Amino acid sequence: MLQIGKVRCDELLKACGSPLYVYDETQIEKKVEDYQTYFKSENFDTEIVYASKAFTCVALLEKLNAYGCSIDVVSGGELSIAKKANFPSENIYFHGNNKLNDEIIMALEYGVKTIIMDNMYEVDQVIHLAEKLKKEVHVLIRVNPKVEAHTHEFIMTATSDSKFGISIDQKDDIKEMIAKVNDSEYVVFDGFHSHIGSQIFEEHAFVAAIDKMIAFIKEMGEPTSVLNIGGGFGVRYTDEDTPIPTKDLCIKLIEAINQSLHTHDVQLDKVCMEPGRSIVGEAGYTLYEVGFTKKTQNKEFIFIDGGMADNIRPALYDAKYACDIANKMDQAKDYTYEVAGKCCESGDIIIHDAKLPKVETNDILVVYTTGAYGYSMASNYNCLNKPAVVFVKDGKARQVVRRETYEDQLALNEEKELQL
């Protein structure tokens, strides 16, 4: 029987039901330690800012805070989880291309240290609200460095017509944004941010973006103390993926930053990075119970008790995953199956042509590397309840998010007359 964090998968399902998201805490800790240890330089401070959109819950944020990580949030919802975890406001960065007034107010009231400005209109809005509430806030301006890295087009962010940030060519607009911030009493300009996309393996794309950003800082000639180089570091979903080990990646990025600072004669107080997927992705596993199996003319299906509602990535990005039968780890994988979810959608296939041992009803299917953008992109399609999340470590397991219930969903069916 497969164990995760020295806990048997069948015992986890017995205790918490199926499907189930399982995180191996040791794997998360190892990643964080690697980032904290190797993304370091004598020439500037560094900060690891976890992109909480990849997966967030109170228990994870408490752990990251204990490790001294910062986080980024992109909505009032993500911020409310940070608040519930008592995450220190001075370690929160607030992102997003269309922050709502209520969200900006919520961030200012909680004392969020830094807001990342996506566009000119937002600058006016943040200045206005910070002055109204008399709250000081620091800002970074998100610059699109126009470095195209090869990844799925839905998760590329630095193409010329990306909806994110302001193009590196629009220097006059950026200067105007900074001038407005400098004129304001409550808003402080710290520097720039760039992010080139997600699930990227090409180290040279990160290096190119870093160099473009540092050359840009020199050219702008504005006092700049902070550069945030974003996240996007790829992880292994299947054997086809070959991510750079975290330690090597950090060392290479630090080298590239130092080299570029030297070349362009720029000094920075701090460089931040924003990994999401690479901290939680490989630490996450989803367990499902197998229901019926079915043979069609050319395929053999196994049906699982979850699917696109708990993992939209195969349907949305054609994402590939690896899997096993947790209770048949020692058997030869002589069979080929379509692993299909239970949603009413032909595209609800989690894995095509999965090589597995002979699968039977009640077997436990484990899908690997579901820790990022699985739970956080889960939906209630077909009114399925969102699964519970458990953390496992050294033979112990704890539920950190409970399973949704029908009552939770029904509670939203509230009728009232509207006072217009």
Binding residues for substrate: 277, 313, 317, 345, 373
Residue 112 in tokens: 């969020």
Secondary structure class of 172 (helix, strand, coil): helix
Would residue 16 show up in a list of annotated catalytic residues for this protein?
no
Q: Provide the annotated binding site for pyridoxal 5'-phosphate.
A: 232, 274-277, 373
Q: Which of positions 276-305 make contact with ligand LLP (CB under 6 A)?
A: 276-278
Q: Between residues 39 and 337, which has the closer beta carbon with respect to ligand LLP?
A: 39
Strands 270-273 and 7-8 come out as unpaired
- C-alpha–C-alpha distance, residues 211 and 259, integer Å: 9
Q: Closest distance between ligand LLP and the C-beta of residue 197, in Å?
A: 8
> Does position 54 bind ligand LLP by CB under 6 A?
yes
What residues between 211 and 230 interact with ligand LLP by CB under 6 A?
Answer: 230
Number of neighbours of residue 264 by Cβ within 10 angstroms:
15
| CB nearer to ligand LLP: pick between 313 and 342 | 313
Q: Which of 9, 16, 323, 344 is catalytic?
A: 344
Q: Report helix, strand and coil shares of the chain as percent, to nearest 5.
A: 35, 25, 40
- Return the range that interacts with ligand LLP (CB under 6 A); candidates 16-24, 47-55, 179-187, 246-254: 47-55
User: What distance, in Å, lies between the first and last C-alpha atoms of the chain?
Assistant: 60
Q: Is residue 233 part of the contact set for ligand LLP (CB under 6 A)?
A: yes
Instruction: For residue 142, report the phi and psi dihedrals to the nearest 5 degrees.
Output: -80, 120
Closest CA to 345 of 377, 386, 314, 375: 314
Residues of span 138-177 touching ligand LLP by CB under 6 A: 155
The residue among 274 and 363 lying less far from ligand LLP, judged by its C-beta, is: 274
Q: Based on the shown chain and the rule CB under 6 A, indicate whether residue 198 belongs to the binding site for ligand LLP.
A: yes
Q: Among 4, 67, 72, which Cα is nearest to 35's? A: 67
Which residues ranging from 238 to 277 are in contact with ligand LLP (CB under 6 A)? 274-277
For residues 238 and 336, which CB has a smaller minimum distance to ligand LLP in the complex?
Answer: 238
Instruction: Give CA–CA dist 356/332, Å, rounded.
Output: 7
54 with 374: CB under 8 angstroms? no
List the catalytic residues: 344
Which residues here bind ligand LLP, judged by CB under 6 A? Answer: 51, 53-54, 95, 155, 195, 198-199, 230-233, 274-278, 313, 317, 372-373, 377
